[in-house]
């Protein structure tokens, strides 16, 4: 037989009597110190009894609903003197403008709240969403959760509000839970408690009130209380040990607020009343047994879990009688005030009890600073809400949540890129995903997409294509804004996933709720399985970086997934073997200083027509912190520069082609810096260059002439070409393409070498830049290796680095719209140079020279340069011995006033101001090179700093020297140093 409500309250009180909380064991909320303050007293004196009731109410406010809604809110503020507002949809700027207006209209400062469980982005556009709590539950460093609490508090306060209805501390032990699920830290009550406390303490350290929800625990239900009243049928002992455990822990830690859920829990109240209206639950358990003295808040009073069958106004009165302090989203304020007044008159509650709750709310207002309220400036709010520090924190949270559930044979991070032909398949996508774009930062990956409703013919076609690959990377994407706990894929697509999972060398990354794993047959058999928790761009980007070793994985699964994986599962893998793509703050640099300076200098250069566009890449500590494209391919062009575009590197080729080969051969004892050209090219014997050591030549003090105008040597006095030089059409004798109407004799390369051999020497052995040796180096490499030069450098360097755009003669491999054009050549080729090397000598070598001829995009070039900066190591591979690189990158002959290293440029021995070749703060250990087309690469081991500048300043012609006059490249380089935080 059911107990009456009165008898039940008596019995529940007897049950809990021996378990009554001791105040000494509980940290009281900080705001309670103000309950009897002068300011609270002064407000209480001014409020009528009904106005004190009104302070218990919080109504919804939207900043995207227009003037009619605004006037309705203003009316309730002025007529009833309500206590506060809960902001729903909108944007930070509009919200703050409205909050300022509402505060101005209110005689008592309004408390402002928001549901920002994962940050302002949960409710407001143009603001940051941090990871959902399920992802946060995977993180092993709770200090990060504290930092997130601090940052969310900063953003909420900046937007004019004072309470966050978070954290969710429900223990999600029901995979079918439709409303909590990914909003929970997981199924482990200890983990939920630790993270809830960290989040709470972070917020409350900034005097933002945190609200633990949804008491007494909404985790074990398959009903959404927004639409119906869920019932939880567990005995008291289980509820006390599990569901209520995190709330007890947070109360003991000093949480300021607790939100009560709409739940039917027979073991706690057999009357069937929703917990929001249950005095046994709110007063008997939360207040008396658990000793909670803080602010008790209802869940939204318009939710069907409480509103169904209960009249507006009357239901609010019942919530107050049950023990709630603050009622959220009341639907009828005047009726509620009347009902509560009638309850006071009937003796169901006293005015003194109402006054006590009103004081509590006013104490919160004082604690959050409303006793000294001033209108909050709106200017720059969105920039400040979306600060670089907040973005960096968001990256750290997502990165730390990545959970590696399988890694057979330590497949991740992927190694031996030169042996892999990789395809990526994004399932659930219809266009290239951020995941796929990020994969391509590391090596060439061919991208495919498969819709969630794909039919058998589409799947069959894709299977056939995948047969050509020995590595498949699968991204499983979500189809909704939030990660649902169900799979929504056609049967054929699910079967396709199942087939892929059992194949070797298949990597799966799930951008979905972890519970979905249980619905995917064979997914646990995959060689690699990454759980990324949600389908955000950031999660996709960082999962790709994990696969290639840019970042590591340390996350642990916060929930059990059927019989496949248990809570706590997760493998640790270290990152940092290849580039990490991140924000400047991650490397101790200031985003604003760096970004503003680079943007300003690039726009200055483009406005001055020093270059039509360019790409800048900056990496510090092997972290790419800036990678940006500017402008257009040509001044009159509509083709915008993309970060993936290839540029003619000009003399940067000198340190990017034969030089790494020479260093490797030096390591192997096959090349000697003290030998001469004639030791490796016998036809230089008996020449004036015989016996001159490579160390002297590479340091540019071997008395070599700077250059030889080879193409001019092909001309007769009348301007026509000499016999056996050029023809207008190609043939077996004239196979070397210089332009469509200019084909060079097959043996002309010998004439170039002969010209170098016979060229006179300078009179004095001092520094004089010369490119002559670099025409010869490819031949030397071929003689020493017995391999084709291009094949050798590809196999030993570019392919292993994943630098797949570093190439000669790029038009043979890439579309022209990916290759940035250079000069309008009015003298030799009589065309705009596009897709071929700008340098005349290099094009006469078939485009293949160590002097010039190499093309690359900034990202791929950076891999080679980072290997140099790492003193020979990148991607877990040792390319060149450290001692060799240190020798090649040090100044060789400073006693001869020569600042150069071996092929590498170095800072001048003394800084020369604007005439210097580097930034003022570039260290003496730094090294790099510049190129005639307007390129520059520079590495500084002291700061572990890499700088790449690509431009085509020779547009329209080489006479355009504005880039030099503006000193753009070195000014940008100095900006990098200026942005490094002390």
- At 922-969, the pLDDT tens digits run 999 999 999 999 999 999 999 999 999 999 999 999 999 999 999 999
Could you tell me the CATH number of the domain that includes residue 103? 3.20.20.300
Q: Judge whether residue 98 has pLDDT over 60.
A: yes
- Any domain includes 705: no
Mean pLDDT of 596-619: 98
Q: How many domains does the chain have?
A: 3
Residue 36 CB neighbours (<10 A)? 11
- Any domain includes 498: yes
Q: Judge whether residue 859 has pLDDT over 50.
A: yes
Residue 270 CB neighbours (<10 A)? 18
Same-domain status, 572 and 636: no
Same-domain status, 365 and 420: no
Give the DSSP per-residue string, 55-119: TTEEEEE-SSS-HHHHHHHHHHHHHH--SEEEE-SB-HHHHHHHHHHHHHH-SSPPEEEE--TT-
**697 phi, psi to nearest 5 deg:** -65, -45
Q: Judge whether residue 832 has pLDDT over 50.
A: yes
Q: Which domain holds residue 493?
A: 402-582
pLDDT tens digits for range 310-344: 899 999 999 999 999 999 999 999 999 999 999 99
Cα(279)–Cα(9) distance, rounded to whole angstroms?
8
pLDDT at 11: 45
Same-domain status, 304 and 432: no
pLDDT at 707: 84
The DSSP letter of residue 716 is: -
Nearest alpha carbon to residue 399 among 530, 515, 595, 506: 530
* Average confidence score pLDDT of the chain: 94
Contacts of 35 (CB under 8 A, 6+ apart): 359, 360, 363
Q: Judge whether residue 148 has pLDDT over 90.
A: yes
Mean pLDDT of 816-825: 96
Strands 506-510 and 528-531, bridge-based pairing: parallel
pLDDT tens digits for range 429-482: 999 999 999 999 999 999 999 999 999 999 999 999 999 999 999 999 987 888
Could you tell me the CATH number of the domain that includes residue 552? 3.40.50.1700
Same-domain status, 225 and 123: yes
Cα(825)–Cα(742) distance, rounded to whole angstroms?
13
CB 615 within 8 A of CB 900: no
Cα(92)–Cα(390) distance, rounded to whole angstroms?
15
Same-domain status, 447 and 367: no
Q: Judge whether residue 2 has pLDDT over 50.
A: no
Token representation of residue 507: 């990597």
Residue in this structure with the two tokens 């799979």, named with its chain if needed: 487
Same-domain status, 410 and 302: no
Q: Judge whether residue 415 has pLDDT over 80.
A: yes
Same-domain status, 202 and 268: yes
pLDDT tens digits for range 769-799: 999 999 999 999 999 999 999 999 999 999 9
Same-domain status, 187 and 300: yes
- Any domain includes 777: no
**424 phi, psi to nearest 5 deg:** -120, 140
Q: Judge whether residue 1 has pLDDT over 70.
A: no
pLDDT over 70 percentage in the chain: 97
pLDDT at 25: 67
Which residues on neighbouring strands pair with residue 531, listed in sequence order?
403, 510
- Any domain includes 453: yes
Q: Judge whether residue 13 has pLDDT over 80.
A: no
Same-domain status, 136 and 56: yes
Which tops the pLDDT comparison, 640 or 827?
640
State the distance between the two ends of the chain, measured CA to CA, in whole angstroms.
73
**pLDDT band at residue 8, thresholds of 50, 70 and 90?**
very low
Give the residue from 582, 607, 630 where a domain finishes. 582
- Any domain includes 160: yes
Same-domain status, 408 and 380: no
Cα(683)–Cα(940) distance, rounded to whole angstroms?
39
pLDDT tens digits for range 871-882: 999 999 999 999
pLDDT tens digits for range 668-685: 999 999 999 999 999 999
Same-domain status, 328 and 430: no
- Any domain includes 371: yes
pLDDT at 6: 43
Q: Judge whether residue 17 has pLDDT over 60.
A: no
Q: Judge whether residue 20 has pLDDT over 60.
A: no
Give the residue from 554, 582, 610 where a domain finishes. 582
Q: Judge whether residue 9 has pLDDT over 70.
A: no
pLDDT at 24: 54
Same-domain status, 354 and 408: no
Nearest alpha carbon to residue 949 among 911, 910, 918, 913: 918
- Any domain includes 747: no
- Any domain includes 791: yes
pLDDT tens digits for range 892-921: 999 999 999 999 999 999 999 989 999 999
pLDDT over 90 percentage in the chain: 90
pLDDT tens digits for range 182-197: 999 999 999 999 999 9
């Amino acid at each position: 037989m059911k107990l009456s409500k009165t008898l039940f309250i008596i019995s529940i009180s007897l049950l809990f009597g021996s378990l009554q909380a001791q105040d000494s064991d509980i940290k009281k909320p900080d705001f309670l110190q103000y309950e009897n303050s002068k300011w609270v007293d002064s407000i209480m004196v001014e409020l009528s009894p009904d106005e004190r009731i009104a302070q218990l109410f919080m109504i919804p406010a939207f900043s995207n609903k227009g003037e009619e809604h605004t006037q309705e809110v203003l009316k309730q503020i002025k007529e009833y003197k309500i206590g506060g507002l809960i902001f729903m949809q909108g944007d930070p700027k509009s919200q703050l403008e409205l909050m300022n207006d509402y505060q101005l209209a209110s005689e008592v400062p309004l408390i402002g709240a928001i549901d920002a469980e994962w940050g302002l982005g949960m409710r407001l556009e143009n603001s940051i969403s941090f990871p959902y709590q399920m992802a946060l539950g995977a993180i092993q460093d709770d200090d990060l959760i504290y930092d997130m609490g601090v940052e969310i508090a900063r953003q909420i306060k900046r937007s004019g509000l004072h309470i966050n209805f978070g954290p969710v501390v429900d223990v999600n032990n029901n995979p079918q839970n439709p409303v909590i699920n990914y909003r929970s830290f997981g199924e482990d009550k200890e983990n939920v408690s630790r993270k809830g406390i960290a989040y709470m303490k972070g917020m409350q350290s900034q005097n933002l009130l945190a609200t633990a929800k949804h008491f007494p625990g909404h985790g074990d239900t398959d009903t959404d209380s927004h639409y119906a009243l869920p019932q939880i049928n567990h005995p008291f002992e289980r509820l006390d040990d599990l569901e209520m455990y995190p709330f007890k822990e947070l109360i003991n830690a000093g949480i300021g607020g607790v939100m009560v859920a709409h739940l039917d829990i027979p073991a706690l109240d057999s009357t069937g009343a929703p917990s929001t209206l249950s005095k046994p639950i709110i007063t008997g358990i939360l207040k008396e047994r658990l000793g909670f003295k803080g602010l008790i808040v209802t869940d939204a009073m318009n939710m069907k879990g409480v509103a169904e069958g209960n009249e507006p106004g009357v239901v609010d009165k019942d919530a107050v009688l049950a023990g709630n302090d603050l009622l959220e989203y009341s639907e009828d304020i005047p009726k509620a005030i009347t009902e509560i007044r009638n309850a006071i008159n009937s003796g169901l509650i006293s005015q003194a009890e109402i006054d006590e709750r009103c004081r509590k709310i006013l104490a919160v207002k004082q604690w959050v600073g409303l006793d000294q309220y001033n209108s909050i400036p709106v200017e720059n709010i969105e920039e400040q809400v979306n600060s670089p520090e907040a973005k960096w924190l968001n990256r750290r949270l997502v990165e730390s949540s990545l959970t590696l559930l399988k890694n057979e044979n330590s497949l991740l991070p992927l190694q031996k890129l030169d042996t892999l032909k990789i395809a990526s398949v994004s399932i659930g996508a219809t266009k290239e995903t951020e995941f796929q774009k990020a994969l391509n930062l590391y090596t060439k990956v061919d991208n495919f997409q498969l819709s969630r409703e794909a039919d058998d013919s589409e799947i069959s076609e894709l299977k056939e294509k995948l047969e050509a690959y020995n590595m498949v990377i699968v991204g499983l994407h979500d189809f909704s804004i939030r990660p649902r706990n169900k799979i929504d894929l056609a049967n054929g697509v699910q079967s396709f996933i199942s087939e892929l999972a059992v194949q070797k060398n298949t990597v799966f990354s799930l951008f979905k709720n972890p519970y979905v794993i249980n619905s995917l047959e064979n997914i646990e058999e995959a060689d690699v399985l990454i759980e990324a928790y949600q389908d955000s761009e950031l999660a996709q980007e960082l999962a790709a970086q994990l696969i290639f070793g840019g970042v590591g994985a340390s996350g642990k699964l916060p929930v059990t997934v059927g019989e496949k994986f248990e809570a706590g599962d997760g493998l640790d893998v270290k990152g940092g073997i290849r580039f990490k793509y991140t924000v400047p703050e991650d490397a101790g640099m200031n985003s604003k200083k760096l970004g503003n300076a680079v943007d300003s200098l690039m726009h200055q250069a483009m406005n001055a027509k020093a270059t039509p566009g360019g790409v800048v890449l900056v990496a510090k500590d092997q972290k790419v912190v800036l990678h940006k494209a500017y402008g257009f391919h040509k001044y009159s062009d509509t083709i915008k520069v993309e970060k993936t575009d290839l540029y003619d590197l000009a003399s940067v080729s000198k340190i990017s082609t034969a030089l790494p080969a020479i260093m490797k051969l030096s390591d192997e004892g096959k090349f000697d810096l003290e030998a001469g050209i004639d030791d490796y090219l016998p036809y230089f014997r008996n020449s004036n260059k015989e016996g001159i050591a490579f160390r002297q030549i590479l340091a540019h003090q071997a008395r070599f002439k700077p250059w030889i105008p080879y193409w001019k040597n092909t001309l007769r006095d009348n301007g026509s070409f000499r016999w056996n030089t050029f023809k207008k059409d190609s043939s077996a004798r004239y196979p070397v393409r210089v332009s469509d109407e200019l084909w060079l004799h097959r043996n002309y390369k010998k004439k170039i070498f002969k010209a170098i051999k016979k060229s006179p020497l300078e009179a004095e052995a001092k520094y004089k830049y010369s490119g002559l040796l670099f025409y010869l180096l490819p031949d030397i490499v071929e003689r020493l290796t017995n391999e084709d030069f291009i094949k050798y450098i590809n196999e030993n360097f570019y392919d292993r680095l994943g630098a797949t755009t570093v190439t000669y003669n790029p038009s043979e491999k890439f579309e022209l719209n990916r290759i940035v054009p250079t000069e309008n050549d009015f003298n030799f080729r009589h065309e705009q140079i596009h897709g071929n090397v700008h340098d005349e000598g290099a094009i006469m070598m078939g485009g293949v020279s160590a002097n010039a001829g190499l093309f690359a995009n900034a990202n791929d070039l950076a891999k080679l340069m980072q290997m140099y900066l790492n003193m020979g190591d990148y991607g877990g591979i040792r390319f060149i011995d450290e001692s060799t690189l240190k020798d090649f990158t040090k100044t060789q002959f400073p006693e001869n006033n020569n600042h150069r290293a071996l092929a590498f440029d170095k800072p001048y021995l003394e800084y020369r101001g604007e005439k210097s070749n580097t930034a003022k703060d570039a260290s003496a250990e730094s090294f790099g090179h510049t190129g005639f087309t307007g390129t520059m690469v520079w590495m500084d081991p002291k700061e572990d700093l890499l700088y790449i500048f690509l431009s085509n300043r020779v547009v329209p012609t080489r006479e355009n020297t504005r880039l030099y006059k503006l000193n753009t490249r070195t000014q940008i380089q100095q900006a990098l140093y200026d942005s490094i935080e002390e």
